[in-house]
């Protein structure tokens, strides 16, 4: 495996008495598709928000894309992309305007913006709706656009927080084609999900239970270890005893 | 610079695309300006008056005629009992009751002294004062003329009088709108500025788009500048339309320099927008931001000297108004427009505003956090 692009050491976040993420230690290599699984409230989003610099950790260390999370925040931000679980492009701007805006914020030149926009609209097959406001597009299209916008500035890592929530399996499958394609170009993918079919697509998985890492391995190894057929069963075995709802 | 430019473009796109927002920004303020400037007047006219004329003499009739002849009073009824008169006051059918006692004419012609009673509704102390002043004026004139005519003059020595002839400087016709329009204009741009900026960042937080901005390498000053510039342009544009209306519809004079007004507006907008963005960064929802903005708006308006003279406030309140940016701008607007004051005459107020602008923008930049705790 190549050099690590994310390394965390006992990264912890407390909200008052509640420990959302408890001493998370991870090492993720360049080009990996790293899946982050857990039930609702297991600490997935909190972890991702810390790693993207949106939330200050309570304690622990982390380096992202070679920059220290505390002292190198700007360096981290230049090298990461982020797609949040709440759809967070501008609904009242058109497809083209959204691309242009985020490309501009990341400092792309006019020439590059033009070129990227054209490319993107073509690959995403959004040329016909380029001047339509996002509000009137289907969620699946918006998610594909959000992913493309998140990697527009060619970051080293992209963080995807439940990127495919609320869409049908076919659309999800297409979304994962995009992820594979980006991964093939060397991009590191850090993705949270609670869809078990998606978990199978990852190179390595980390299952979180109550803020702690319950298990971290490759999907096949996990299934073998628990002696089951699918990730779904692995997840149920891990999550059930701990959570009483 | 480029980053700011992209932010500014984006804000303008969003503002002009929002169909609900445009009328609020453009049409509403000017309807308010036109209506408020005409309505917010302290002129007391056509006061409803009730009459209790127990004398029913030629002289009492003459006095009543004096009252009703002018535009100030309007006779709404008459009776002969106090109970009925007071009933009229209570029912707000009359704000003034004029009671002329039984021997009014006889007393006046024989002794030169007669009494009348004025009962004034003083719920609103200011209007009551004005009604009293008008009434005294009418009775005084009546008094002097009657005394002159009758022979009483010989027996009663009229005291020497100092006649006062007043002429109002800087607003010679005492046009109320000339005084109000510049002030109301200030309130309107404050309102627009404070609410547009106050709702803005918190709205992005509510819909989640702020996260997408915060994961970019954008700097705090870039973000705040990108938010300030569009609203600043809108504020200054509103000022221009307002000044045009003041000139064309209300005929408010402009004795000072437009450049000075624009300079002050530019600084004032920074104060208001800085404050709005600050509110936006310390609140969680648009609703909270709205309440905080209203809280300040009400205090700023009531303590601005727009409707009530600052000189008549208690000492501590007068000191507090120094912290009110709206007060300084209202003051500057009136002085520059009506008196033609120059930059040297308004320097003290201007310095307050500059200080305020620096503090507010600094606060906004510092309070905006890319990282949540």
Query: Measured between alpha carbons, how far is B48 from B92 in angstroms, rounded to an integer?
Result: 9
| Per-residue pLDDT reduced to its tens digit, B232-280 | 999 999 999 999 999 998 888 889 999 999 999 999 999 999 999 999 9
| CA atoms in the 13 A half-sphere facing the CB of A48 | 31
Contact A101 B6 (CB under 8 A): yes
SS3 A180: helix
CATH number of the domain that residue A219 is part of = 3.40.50.300
B294–chain A nearest CA distance, Å: 27
Of B10, B18, B208, the CB nearest to A101: B10
C-alpha to C-alpha distance for B326 and B296, rounded to whole angstroms:
11
Question: Is the residue at A209 inside a domain?
Answer: yes
Residue among A54, A78, A100 minimizing CB distance to B217: A78
Instruction: Say whether the ipTM exceeds 0.90.
Output: no
Residue A33: give the domain boundaries: 4-239
Distance from CA of B240 to the nearest CA of A (A): 29
The residue of chain B with its CA nearest to that of A151 is: B216
Q: What pairs with residue A81 in β-bridges? A: A158
Domains identified in chain A, total number? 1
pTM for the full predicted model: 0.80
User: How far, in Å, CA of B360 to CA of B146, rounded?
Assistant: 65
Domain-by-domain residue ranges, chain B?
2-40+173-367, 47-155
Interface test with A, best of B5, B19, B211, B225 (most A CBs within 10 A): B211
Question: Is A141 inside a domain boundary?
Answer: yes
User: A88 to chain B: nearest residue by CA?
Assistant: B209
- Say if A97 falls within a structural domain: yes
Q: Tell me yes or no: is domain B47-155 CATH 1.10.3720.10.
A: no
| SS3 sequence of A86-114 | CCCCCCCCEHHHHHHHHHHHCCCCHHHHH
Residue A234 lies in a domain: yes
Option in B207, B211, B218 nearest A105 (CB): B218
> Which of A50, A71, A76, A105 best tests the B interface by mutation, with the highest count of B CBs <10 A?
A105
Asked if residue A244 belongs to a domain, the reply is no
Determine whether the interchain pair B373/A53 forms a contact, defined as Cβ–Cβ distance below 8 Å: no
Residue at A225 is within a domain: yes
Print pLDDT tens along chain A (245 aa): 467 899 999 999 999 999 999 999 999 999 999 999 888 888 899 999 999 999 999 999 999 999 999 999 889 999 999 998 887 899 999 999 999 999 999 999 999 999 999 999 999 999 999 999 999 999 999 999 999 999 999 999 999 999 988 888 899 999 999 999 999 999 999 999 888 888 888 999 999 888 888 889 998 898 888 888 888 888 888 766 554 44
Show residues of chain B in contact with A86, CB under 8 Å: 207-208, 211
């Amino acid at each position: 495996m190549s050099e690590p692009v994310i390394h965390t050491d006992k990264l912890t976040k407390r909200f008052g008495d509640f420990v959302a993420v408890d001493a998370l230690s991870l090492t993720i290599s360049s080009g990996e598709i790293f899946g982050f699984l857990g039930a609702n409230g297991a600490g997935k989003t909190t972890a991702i928000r810390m790693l993207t610099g949106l939330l200050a950790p309570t304690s622990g260390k982390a380096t992202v894309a070679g920059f220290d999370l505390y002292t190198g925040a700007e360096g981290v931000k230049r090298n990461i992309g982020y797609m949040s679980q709440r759809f967070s492009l501008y609904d009242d701007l058109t497809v083209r305007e959204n691309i242009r805006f985020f490309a501009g914020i990341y400092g792309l030149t006019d020439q590059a913006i033009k070129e990227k926009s054209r490319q993107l609209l073509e690959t995403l097959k959004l040329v016909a709706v380029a001047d339509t406001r996002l509000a009137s597009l289907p969620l699946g299209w918006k998610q594909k656009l959000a992913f493309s916008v998140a990697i527009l500035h060619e970051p080293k890592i992209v963080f995807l927080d439940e990127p495919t929530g609320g869409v049908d399996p076919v659309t999800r499958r297409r979304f994962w084609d995009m992820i594979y394609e980006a991964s093939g170009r060397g991009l590191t993918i850090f993705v949270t999900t609670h869809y078990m079919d998606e978990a199978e697509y990852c190179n390595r998985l980390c299952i979180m239970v109550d803020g702690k890492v319950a298990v971290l391995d490759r999907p096949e190894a996990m299934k073998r270890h628990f002696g089951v057929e699918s990730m779904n069963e692995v997840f149920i075995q891990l999550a059930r005893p701990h959570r009483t709802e | 610079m480029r980053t700011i430019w992209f932010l500014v473009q984006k804000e303008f796109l969003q503002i002009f695309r929002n169909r609900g927002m445009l009328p609020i920004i453009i049409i509403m303020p000017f309807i308010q300006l036109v209506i408020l400037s005409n309505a917010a007047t302290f002129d007391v006219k056509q006061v409803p008056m009730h009459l209790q004329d127990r004398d029913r003499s030629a002289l009492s009739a003459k006095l009543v005629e004096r009252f009703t002849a002018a535009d100030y009073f309007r006779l709404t009824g008459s009776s002969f009992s106090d109970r009925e008169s007071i009933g009229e006051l209570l029912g707000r059918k009359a704000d003034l009751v004029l009671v002329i006692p039984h021997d009014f004419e006889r007393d006046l012609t024989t002794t030169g002294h007669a009494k009348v009673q004025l009962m004034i509704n003083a719920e609103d102390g200011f209007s009551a004062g004005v009604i009293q002043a008008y009434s005294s004026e009418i009775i005084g004139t009546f008094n002097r003329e009657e005394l002159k005519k009758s022979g009483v003059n010989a027996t009663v020595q009229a005291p020497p009088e100092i006649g006062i002839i007043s002429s109002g400087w800087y607003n010679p016709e005492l046009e109320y709108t000339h005084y109000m329009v510049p002030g109301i204009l200030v309130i309107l741009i404050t309102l627009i500025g404070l609410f547009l900026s106050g709702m803005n960042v918190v709205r992005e937080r509510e819909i989640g788009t702020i996260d997408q901005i915060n994961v970019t390498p954008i700097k705090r000053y870039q973000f705040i500048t990108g938010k300030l510039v569009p609203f600043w342009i809108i504020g200054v544009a509103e000022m221009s339309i307002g000044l045009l209306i003041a000139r064309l519809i209300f005929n408010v004079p402009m004795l000072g320099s437009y450049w000075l007004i624009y300079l002050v507006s530019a600084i004032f907008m920074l104060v208001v927008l800085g404050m709005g963005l600050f509110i936006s960064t310390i609140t969680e929802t648009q609703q909270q931001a709205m309440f905080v903005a209203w809280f300040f708006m009400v205090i700023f308006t009531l303590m601005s000297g727009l409707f009530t003279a600052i000189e008549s406030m208690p000492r501590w309140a007068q000191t507090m108004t120094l912290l009110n940016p709206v007060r300084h701008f209202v003051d500057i607007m009136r002085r520059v427009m009506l008196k033609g004051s120059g930059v040297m005459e308004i320097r003290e107020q201007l310095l307050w505003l500059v200080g305020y602008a620096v503090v507010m923008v600094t606060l906004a930049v510092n309070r905006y956090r890319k990282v949540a705790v």
